[in-house]
Structure 1
Amino acid sequence: MKKTSKILSILLCITLFSTLLVGCGGSMGAFNSNQDQGKIEDSANLNEDTNGEENEDNKENPELEVEQPTVAKFVSPYNIQYPDAVRGIYVTSHSAGGARFEKLLDLVTTTDLNAMVIDIKDDHGYITYPLEDGHPYKDLSRRNIKDVPAMMKVLEQHQIYPIARIVVFKDSVMAQIKPEWSFKENGQVWKNRRGESFINPFLQEVWDYNVEIAKMAAELGFKEIQFDYVRFPEGFENRDDSLQYAFGAYKDRKPTKLIELEETYQVEIASYQKNHSELLQLKESLQGNINRLDAEIAQAASQAPAQGTNTPTAKDPRKAMLEKEMLDLNKRITDLEKRKPKEPNFTAKDMNVHARVDAVTDFVAYAKEQLKDYDVQVSVDIFGYTATLPEAPGIGQNFSKISSNVDVICSMIYPSHWTNNYFGIPRPDIEPYRLVKEYIKMENAKLAELPKPPVSRPWIQDFTASWLGSGNYKVYGKKEVEDQIRALNEDGVWEFLLWNAGNNYTQGVNYVPIGKKPQ
């Protein structure tokens, strides 16, 4: 009962904390005051002697612009540079804070690896390092990484690029604490078949909660914030009608997709109307020519007996030519009318589907903006298949839109996670080189369409997917990992991350880039 009371007691704190963020525009003072974890510096020189009085120079020069104080910038206490190209491994919080860390450290320092992606908010929703008493999120924290500053100093010593992984919308812990932030079914917090719950991407409070944790990670000294599970639950489009949840600011908002379609329709219908009008005018003119020729033929016929001349007939070649022109013109008009643009017509379900894409995209853009003063890169993990589709509105992911709002896009392209015959590959897990090769060509083309494409840093597979069943998988080792890296390098992608859920990585892999090493 005591623990339940403590958890319930933070509910009000969380809501108030989100509200305070808007007013303060910053992160928690408790972290700002910690010299080991970072500081906030204001580069403006404020005159404390004016006591609010008007500056004398401004009295004499009323048109003189007053220089505004610059926005406070976070300065990390750790000097860790971005490497030539990130080549990293996933590290659970238990590994980062336990005996396995030394083994992983040895792997990175004795190979061409140079980065670690470390859980800071894990797949359950827990913050993975201890927070001080009185902190609003104290009861959500665990002691998996007991001494983050000590860990960061080791990473700095070895120039290992630290990336904080924050699992965003998959959050079973917060879903139970604040059911109104989650999805409900029959009055209870909904769980997927793995017993996991999600919090609602439509809600600003949910955004602020996760962004605050990201700011905390930046203040710990992490050089990059990597958001994972930036989506609605898989298969959400099949259950959205049966779940109860709030839409927040998206309740009555027209989806961006509909706005784009309406704008496209206005352009297309204007062009159609112009072309249609021109063709009708041409038809009217042509009909006039035919009428005049008919009148000429009729007049000539009436005068022919008296004058004794040859009479033009209905088979006058000019008439035949004009009639052919009329047939061709009528066909052009009919073909154009068949292609008349249709006005967009979104059903309520359509509105919901595309609102999900807006919510996910808007969160990413918001997080990037909120973190701009923390001197960190922002990356997002995304399903690889989204790059092969216009968008995946069921889960709310649009590859191009998310990519436009991050510094790094991390597509999860594990060969084991593609259905049979994708890219024409019968069993993708059996052919890691071919799968990655086919995928990265599509991703490169998709990113090339963007004005400012992010860095591509895919997640690749360093595990054996035996659950696929006999004949559908192979044991992954040195060759399979190197084949994936080679496929990326050959198409100009130099960065990658290795995934193994248990952090048991293959030994003896050559991670050195193939070809000219990127500068």
Structure 2
Amino acid sequence: MKNLKLRVSLLFLLWSALGPVPAFAASYVGTVLDADTRKPIENAFVTLGFTVARTDPDGKFTIDGNGEQLGIRAYGHARREVPLNNLDHGITLSPFIPKAIYLSFYGIGDKALRESALGVIQRTEVNALVIDLKGDRGGVSFKSATPLATQIGARKITTIKDIQALVSELHAKGIYTIGRIVVFKDDPLATARPDLALRTADGAVWKDREGLSWPDPFNKMVWRYNIDLAEEAARAGFDEIQFDYVRLPDSKEPVYPAPNTEKNRVETISGFLAEARKRLVPYNVFLAADIFGYVAWNTDDTHIGQKLQNLAEVLDYLSFMLYPSGFKFGIPGYLDPVQHPREIVLLSLEKAQQRSKLPAIRFRPWLQAFRDYAFDRRLFQTPQIRAQIEAANYFGSDGWMLWNPHNLYGDGLQNKPTHGPNVFTP
């Protein structure tokens, strides 16, 4: 009996020292197909926990890990989750092309603006909604559990009472959801935490042309805060996370903790996006970022850390802001951009594709649906808006997004189709 007790004690001590044996990681195989054509989808993403696999030219994949379901997504298709016991007959993804309008921090909470936007979606080709989750002034629109959001006063105003219920409601209406998070333009964070703020050469907190402070893009705490918010949005069910102001300020005044070189700027912006992509893997969400229009043309980083080739490596969708009013120097052959909205959009997309070698489906541009502010103050109405939409359609981008700061839409939109890649099935 004493020998038995001794053996049990020794086994217990050995187990304690080595720790529990890790769970066996199972291996899963399957095929991803286009739901309409039944053809294989190459390079689709297959996720299981933090593990990512890509499909081969025959749509086949092998992935190891533990969990209850796979996340599947592919460019130009709606994402889906599939139980691990349902992989035998091919996994189909439905083609889907988002055509979006934007609701601001206050727009999503304003009943009249929200219902007007939903009415536009019900009547027209629009099938997606970009929603501010952290707006241009740094306010967080939903009841975030991220402590820093409350500590810095970013949660003073709630315009989304229940983020999960909102996503569920929009999905029930067949609406693709894009959560917009303004990253490095964040006055509440820089004001409440001056230790995180950008500063001038004389040590003062730097402010932009609007009188707003920015946090330091090199600071990893700033990264974590924004990615924590993105992770909350992904858990709530958003189909896509879109980062805006994911750049350095377009000013020479701020002083950074590292030399202000192109290498350091690009590594900072691409590094943030790479970390966000890594953190978001378990949620099977698409990742996008809003990009200066001239980045499509410039071979450097436009002095803000946005370099086309580097962005292409860490994003699913590149959302160039192709507002004609934003091209103050024009583009080759077109020095008056507001007179040529179609050419600005089409030629910029073609230049970005030529330089990056990406397929057209990796781009989804922002289009101008607001009055010109840089040239002759003309209104952008049906002719100008439709010209931009047709340019994006001709190019073959993954849809488009209309920006109007007042959240008023309707001009330039066609009637809602009843079938095809414009219909979103969550």
- TM-score category of the 2 structures, normalised to the smaller one: 0.7 to 0.9
SS in 2 for 1:124: coil
Deviation of the 1:239 alpha carbon = 2.4
* Corresponding residue for residue 388 of structure 2: 484
Counterparts of 1:375-414 in structure 2, within 5 Å, are 375-414=284-323
Counterparts of 1:176-255 in structure 2, within 5 Å, are 176-185=191-200, 186-235=202-251, 238-240=252-254, 243=255, 245-247=256-258
- Structure having the larger proportion of residues in strand: 2
Give the distance between the partners of 1:468 and 1:65, measured in 2 at CA.
Answer: 61
Contact 2:120 2:410 in 1 (8 A): no
**1:140 and 2:154 are equivalent in the alignment:** yes
Contact 1:410 1:457 in 2 (8 A): yes
Aligned partner of 1:101 among 111, 114, 118: 114
Give the distance between the partners of 2:323 and 2:416, measured in 1 at CA.
Answer: 20
Distance 1:52-1:395 versus aligned 2 partners, 3 A rule = farther
* Corresponding residue for residue 365 of structure 2: 458
SS in 1 for 2:338: helix
**1:110 and 2:126 are equivalent in the alignment:** no
* Corresponding residue for residue 136 of structure 2: 123
* Corresponding residue for residue 169 of structure 1: 184
**1:153 and 2:200 are equivalent in the alignment:** no
* Corresponding residue for residue 349 of structure 2: 440
Contact 1:125 1:167 in 2 (8 A): yes
Give the distance between the partners of 2:131 and 2:338, measured in 1 at CA.
Answer: 26
* Corresponding residue for residue 374 of structure 2: 468
Distance 1:68-1:167 versus aligned 2 partners, 3 A rule = same
Q: Provide, for residues 244-298 of structure 1, a one-character-per-residue CA deviation record: whole Å limited to 9, x for no partner.
A: x434xxxxxxxxxxxxxxxxxxxxxxxxxxxxxxxxxxxxxxxxxxxxxxxxxxx
Distance 1:483-1:363 versus aligned 2 partners, 3 A rule = same
SS in 1 for 2:190: helix
- The code of the aligned residue for 1:362 comes to G
Instruction: Name the Cα RMSD after superposition.
Output: 3.1
Give the distance between the partners of 1:386 and 1:502, measured in 2 at CA.
Answer: 26
Distance 1:72-1:210 versus aligned 2 partners, 3 A rule = farther
- The code of the aligned residue for 2:413 comes to V
* Corresponding residue for residue 67 of structure 1: 24
Structure 2 unaligned runs (5+)? 1-10, 16-20, 27-64, 72-77, 81-93
* Corresponding residue for residue 296 of structure 1: none
TM-score by length of 2: 0.73
Deviation of the 1:446 alpha carbon = 2.2
SS in 1 for 2:393: helix
Identity %, equivalent residues: 30
- The code of the aligned residue for 1:509 comes to L
Deviation of the 1:80 alpha carbon = 8.2
Deviation of the 1:51 alpha carbon = 9.0
Contact 1:381 1:410 in 2 (8 A): yes
Deviation of the 1:53 alpha carbon = 7.8
**1:356 and 2:285 are equivalent in the alignment:** no
Q: Provide, for residues 372-399 of structure 1, a one-character-per-residue CA deviation record: whole Å limited to 9, x for no partner.
A: 0112111111011111111225111101
- The code of the aligned residue for 1:510 comes to Q
Contact 1:74 1:375 in 2 (8 A): no
- The code of the aligned residue for 1:246 comes to P
- The code of the aligned residue for 1:444 comes to Q
Bigger Cα Rg? 1
TM-score by length of 1: 0.61
Give the distance between the partners of 2:116 and 2:322, measured in 1 at CA.
Answer: 26
* Corresponding residue for residue 88 of structure 1: 100
Contact 1:120 1:166 in 2 (8 A): yes
Q: Provide, for residues 392-415 of structure 1, a one-character-per-residue CA deviation record: whole Å limited to 9, x for no partner.
A: 251111011112111111000001
Counterparts of 1:504-515 in structure 2, within 5 Å, are 504-507=408-411, 509-510=413-414
> Which deviates more, 165-174 or 399-408?
399-408
SS in 1 for 2:100: strand
Distance 1:494-1:479 versus aligned 2 partners, 3 A rule = farther
Q: Provide, for residues 406-434 of structure 1, a one-character-per-residue CA deviation record: whole Å limited to 9, x for no partner.
A: 11110000011102442221210121112
Give aligned pairs, total. 345
Give the distance between the partners of 1:453 and 1:66, measured in 2 at CA.
Answer: 42
Distance 1:441-1:358 versus aligned 2 partners, 3 A rule = same
SS in 2 for 1:424: coil
> Which deviates more, 123-132 or 414-423?
123-132
Distance 1:166-1:491 versus aligned 2 partners, 3 A rule = same
SS in 1 for 2:143: coil
Structure 1 unaligned runs (5+)? 1-49, 55-63, 248-347
Contact 2:341 2:388 in 1 (8 A): yes
Give the distance between the partners of 2:69 and 2:178, measured in 1 at CA.
Answer: 17
Contact 1:482 1:511 in 2 (8 A): no
> Which deviates more, 504-513 or 177-186?
504-513
SS in 2 for 1:382: strand
Give the distance between the partners of 2:101 and 2:303, measured in 1 at CA.
Answer: 30
Deviation of the 1:189 alpha carbon = 1.5
Distance 1:214-1:52 versus aligned 2 partners, 3 A rule = farther
* Corresponding residue for residue 311 of structure 1: none
Counterparts of 1:238-387 in structure 2, within 5 Å, are 238-240=252-254, 243=255, 245-247=256-258, 352-387=261-296
Distance 1:103-1:187 versus aligned 2 partners, 3 A rule = same
